Amino acid sequence: MSGDTALLIIDIQTGMFDEKDPVNEGDKLLQILAGLTAKAHQSGMPVIYVQHSGGDNHILHSSKPGWPIHPAIAPQPHDLIVHKHHPDSFQETNLQVELHRLGIKNLVVAGIQTEYCVDTTCRRTYSLGYDVTLVEDGHSTWDNTHLNASQIIAHHNETLGGWFVNLKPADSIKFDPLPV
């Protein structure tokens, strides 16, 4: 991927990995995202973290221990952090301004929660004219009353893939070094 590409990591916050109700395959997800962020950092590619800020009693409220970005993929000083309050990473945030400032035309998207923030952000990114790659093994969720997490992930990969996003497994994603 070229110099007009950034890695967008959505809502990988400590509260999403609570031992009482952990996200599906959380350890595997953290390992995949740690590898992707390392590749992006090594190539000089921008890494943008989207951090959800929930309401007063929400596990992702900025005053709660679950709010920080997970230490397994902790941002480096030059990484960007965008704070959001909605499933859409663009709604009432500075994300689009920052992408424009950086000259980004392509986004590689990963994170939590598949059927909410990941889905909404992928669709919005596509609608705004960006080329979107969804890391097909780089997003996760929880079981719901109708489907288990693996079914939700597979459904969204199929629904988003080919129309809104290019689907790629993490191990096939390569970031080209930026020109010096």
Share of the chain above pLDDT 70, in %: 97
Quick check: is 179 in a domain?
no
Q: How many other C-beta atoms can be found within 10 angstroms of the C-beta atom of residue 63?
A: 7
Please indicate whether residue 89 or residue 21 has the higher confidence score (pLDDT).
89
- The predicted pLDDT at position 177 comes to 76
pLDDT-derived band of residue 2, with 50, 70 and 90 as boundaries? Answer: low
Work out the average pLDDT over 98-105. 97
| Residue 180 resides in a domain | no
Closest to 95 measured CA to CA, from 58, 131, 121, 77 = 121
CA-to-CA distance for 99 and 104, rounded, in angstroms? 5
Best CA proximity match to 59, nearest among 91, 93, 23: 23
Give the 3-state secondary structure of residue 33.
helix
**Does 177 fall in a domain?**
no
Compute the C-alpha angle 109/112/118, nearest 5°. 50
Q: Which two tokens stand for residue 31?
A: 């390992």
137 is in which domain, residue-wise?
5-172
Taking the C-alpha atoms of residue 57 and residue 179, their distance in angstroms, rounded to an integer, is 46
Please list, in sequence order, all residues whose beta carbon lies within 8 angstroms of the beta carbon of residue 150, skipping any fewer than 6 positions away: 24
Mean pLDDT (whole number) for 11-32: 95
Domain-located, residue 68 = yes
- Give the count of domains, the chain: 1
Q: What is the pLDDT of residues 134-163, one digit of tens each?
A: 999 999 999 999 999 999 999 999 999 989
Provide φ and ψ at 84, rounded to 5°: -135, 160
Residue 139: helix, strand or coil by DSSP? strand
Per-residue confidence at 3, pLDDT binned at 50, 70, 90? confident
On whether residue 12 sits in a domain, the answer given is yes
Three-state DSSP state, 167: strand
Measured between alpha carbons, how far is 42 from 177 in angstroms, rounded to an integer? 8
CATH of the domain at 43: 3.40.50.850
Q: What is the mean pLDDT of the chain?
A: 95
Whole-angstrom distance, CA of residue 81 vs CA of residue 44: 16
Phi, psi of 111 (to 5 degrees): 145, -155
**Token pair of 174 as six digits:** 């390569």
